Amino acid sequence: GAGVSQSPSNKVTEKGKDVELRCDPISGHTALYWYRQSLGQGLEFLIYFQGNSAPDKSGLPSDRFSAERTGGSVSTLTIQRTQQEDSAVYLCASSLDRGFYNEQFFGPGTRLTVL
């Protein structure tokens, strides 16, 4: 079956612009995660959605970052007033259910470049 898909695969934007990144999780997966991977920084947790529960936003670096998950499926990560330090690969993952014992399946990522 289809894996996690993300769009766009690459996004170049100017500093100060808003961007939206999309994630389509695997059908039936109730948990959805967003991560950011910066050069030399490894993978950084941003936000987690589980069903209809309130999302865990503890990893969002600033209030310029927000995310939604509509209908328990597709998710959109929005970055407002982008800064150069926002340049990174943004990875989305989904799992069948919450918790460590449910493997997270990752999408290919969106490479964001802020000029």
Partner 1 sequence: SQELEQSPQSLIVQEGKNLTINCTSSKTLYGLYWYKQKYGEGLIFLMMLQKGGEEKSHEKITAKLDEKKQQSSLHITASQPSHAGIYLCGAAQNQAGTALIFGKGTTLSVSS
Q: How far is CA 8 from each of CA 4, 50, 101, 104, 111, rounded to the nearest angstrom?
A: 13, 24, 30, 21, 8
Cβ–Cβ under 8 Å, residues 66 and 103: no
The conformation of residue 3, written as its DSSP 8-state character, comes to -
Name the token pair of 56. Answer: 């865990």
Kindly report the number of other CB atoms within 10 A of residue 58's CB atom. Answer: 9
Tell me: does residue 84 bind partner 1 (CB under 8 A).
no
Cβ–Cβ under 8 Å, residues 25 and 33: no
Our CB check for partner 1 shows the closer of 80 and 102 to be 102
* 60, 67, 91, 114: residue in contact with partner 1 (rule CB under 8 A): 91
For partner 1, the binding residues in 48-77 under the rule CB under 8 A are 48, 50, 56, 58-59
12-20, 67-75, 80-88, 106-114 -> range binding partner 1 (CB under 8 A): 106-114
Name the token pair of 4. Answer: 């996690």
CB of 30 to partner 1, least distance (A): 12
CB of 60 to partner 1, least distance (A): 12
Our CB check for partner 1 shows the closer of 55 and 80 to be 55
**Rule CB under 8 A: which residues touch partner 1?**
4, 31, 33, 35, 40-45, 48, 50, 56, 58-59, 91, 93, 98-109, 111
